[in-house]
Chains A and B, each alone.
Chain A
Amino acid sequence: MDMDRFLKNQVTSWMESTGEYADIVMSTRIRLARNLDGYRFPLAFTEDEAHRIEQTVTGILLDADKLPQQFTSYQMKQLDPLDKQVLIEKHLISPSLIEAEYESAAVISEDESLSIMINEEDHLRIQCILPGLQLEEAYRQARNIDRVLDREVSYAFDEKYGYLTTCPTNTGTGLRASVMMHLPALTATKQMAKIAPIINRLGMVVRGIYGEGSEALGNVYQVSNQVTLGKAEVEILQELQGLTKQLIEKEREARQALLSHSRIILEDKLFRSLGTLRYARMLSTEEAASCLSDVRLAIDLGIITHVSKTILNECMVFMQPGFLQQYAGSSLSPKDRDVFRAKMIRERLTIEEKGENSYDV
């Protein structure tokens, strides 16, 4: 398949490098958990309840004339496994949505910034992802969907506990706000391990977002609030915003320190990574992630200038198995994936070297 076309079709709005503090904050995500009154929660509901909820909510969202965008509904049971995998890799749905016992669906907006999961752990998970640091705007958009639904259905709500959810960790506002951050310098200087417990004490949590195990793949972290009860939405957003800005400042300091202490060593490492991405014929997820992080850092520091910033955001998503197989047009063994991963990244770099700015959206 033509790489250029493939990528253009797959780039989703949150992968752009726009938005505030886009050198460090890759994207912002807001999620509201809601349940409908009069139906048992997904862990205890019947097939019939699941069906009625799905029909009701999809109907409202597809018919609503007050919504800013067109929406499309995807029934999980009818979707091809590879397509589901791709939606997961784009962060538009969660793995548990496709594992739902009964009917589950995702209603996704045209630009893929808004997605409403139906019958995941809760009846509704309203999600908005935007590029850069845009907590208020992402919340505003998710809340807009929430309001539209609120007018048509009645939510499970309690004056004392707020919005009632399946898991007590979401009770109250049902709001989970997260920012995805690229923190290579804080990681390299071993500061993340010290920062994590402090963030925890503030009622927030930081974790690697890609891969598993002890390292955050690609030095990409997600910082989110944990407390949802007893704090108003604005307060939750402001606290996360404040913490994010502090992390940005610390990361910038660490980057400057790396530059001033060992510029040539840093440059050498970052250029080698670009070399690897450009010439390697096989790349594991780990190696690709680490090189992509290096190249992105080099772009932010002005060391590498002819590659667009979106490369990290995009390739971290596109190099996952679902995307690679869609790109290859067939299923791939793990070894073949390494080959295709290297090929995909090489082609992605070549497109830019041809001088096409099609990705600097």
Chain B
Amino acid sequence: MICENCKQRPAHVKMTVTQNGEPFTRHLCEVCASQLHPFQNQQDPLTVHQLLTNLFTPEQPTKQANREKSQWSCPTCGWTYERFVHRGKFGCADCYTTFGNALPPVMKRLHNGNAEHIGQVPEAFEETRDLKRRIEDIRSRMQEAIAQEEFETAATLRDQARELEAKLLKGGD
């Protein structure tokens, strides 16, 4: 289906809107749908679809890179790279890995320069996260000790780190 508004792009968004108290469904593309809100003139929001299209069609694409990307296809949901760009959405969790190389710039643009999660984690990941933090901490203390030429301390710390790393590997099993 083609967007009712621009009659150009495919209508991926089904919106139930109320006009004069009358609800009706409009079939719009993501670009037109995003413009249905009150401040579009001032803020000019980039939709995900626009963003992806802009990012993934650089002015001088290297043919090699494009050929490579056009062959990406998610083994779990079957989505191709083209489909992902077109819809601006993921088909499954494995798409994040499949299209992983293309993601950092997209995420940075969408999330004010951020590309890594720092919030809550599921319980199952909590232990791993804590272990990793402790190992990092020990490693940095070890570097300090080495810089101070306190080699005995450094050796103790190294052993501690190894112990935790072994635990991490076991936990990840």
Residues of A participating in the B interface, judged by any CB pair closer than 8 Å: 35, 37, 39-41, 43-45, 85, 88, 95-96, 99, 121, 143, 147, 150-151, 154-169, 171-173, 175, 192-193, 196-197, 200, 203, 205-208, 210-216, 227-233, 284-286, 319-322, 324, 334, 337-338, 341
Contacts and interface: CB of A to CB of B under 8 A. Distances in A.
B48 A216 contact: no
B39 A212 contact: no
B115 interface: yes
B165 to A, nearest CB: 16
Contacts of B123: 147, 150-151
Contacts of B151: none
B88 interface: yes
Contacts of A205: 43, 45
A204 to B, nearest CB: 10
Given A95-B15, A150-B123, A173-B117, A156 B93 contact: yes
Given A208-B38, A233-B120, A334 B21 contact: yes
**Across the A-B interface, the 4 shortest Cβ-Cβ residue pairs:** A230-B114, A162-B117, A44-B91, A95-B16
A159 B107 contact: no
B48 A43 contact: no
Contact of A160 (B15, B91, B117): B117
10 contacts: A37-B93, A40-B91, A95-B14, A162-B117, A165-B90, A169-B110, A207-B38, A208-B37, A231-B114, A322-B23
Contacts of B87: 43
Contacts of A150: 122-123
Interface in B46-76: 48, 76
B107 A338 contact: no
Interface string B96-112: 10000001001100111
A231 B118 contact: yes
B32 to A, nearest CB: 12
Given A155-B122, A213-B38, A215-B38, A168 B48 contact: yes
Most chain B CB within a 10 A radius of its CB, from A44, A88, A205, A227: A44
A324 B121 CA distance: 43
Interface in B10-26: 14-23
A167 B37 contact: no
Contact residues of B: prevailing secondary structure? loop
A351 B106 CA distance: 54
A192 B106 CA distance: 30
A37 to B, nearest CB: 7
Contacts of B76: 40
A232 to B, nearest CB: 5
Contact of B119 (A151, A155, A162, A164): A162
Contacts of A85: 23
Given A167-B88, A207-B39, A233 B119 contact: yes
Contacts of A95: 14-16
B93 A158 contact: yes
A159 B77 contact: no
Q: Please tell me the size bucket of the interface on B.
A: 35 or more
B136 to A, nearest CB: 13
B110 A229 contact: yes
Given A44-B92, A196-B38, A341-B21, 6 more contacts: A41-B93, A171-B107, A227-B114, A229-B107, A334-B21, A334-B22
A44 B78 contact: yes
Nearest to B117: A162
B77 A40 contact: yes
A320 B18 contact: yes
A341 B20 CA distance: 12
Given A159-B125, A206-B39, A230 B111 contact: yes
Contacts of B111: 171-172, 203, 227-231
Most chain A CB within a 10 A radius of its CB, from B89, B119, B123: B119
B33 to A, nearest CB: 11
A170 to B, nearest CB: 10
Interface in B156-172: none
A121 B87 CA distance: 13
A262 B168 CA distance: 69
Given A41-B77, A161-B107, A231-B119, A166 B89 contact: yes
A156 B97 CA distance: 12
Contacts of A321: 18, 21-23
Given A95-B15, A156-B93, A193 B22 contact: no
A285 B42 CA distance: 26
B114 A44 contact: no
A193 B36 CA distance: 15
B127 to A, nearest CB: 13
Given A35-B93, A43-B87, A212 B36 contact: yes
Contacts of B147: none
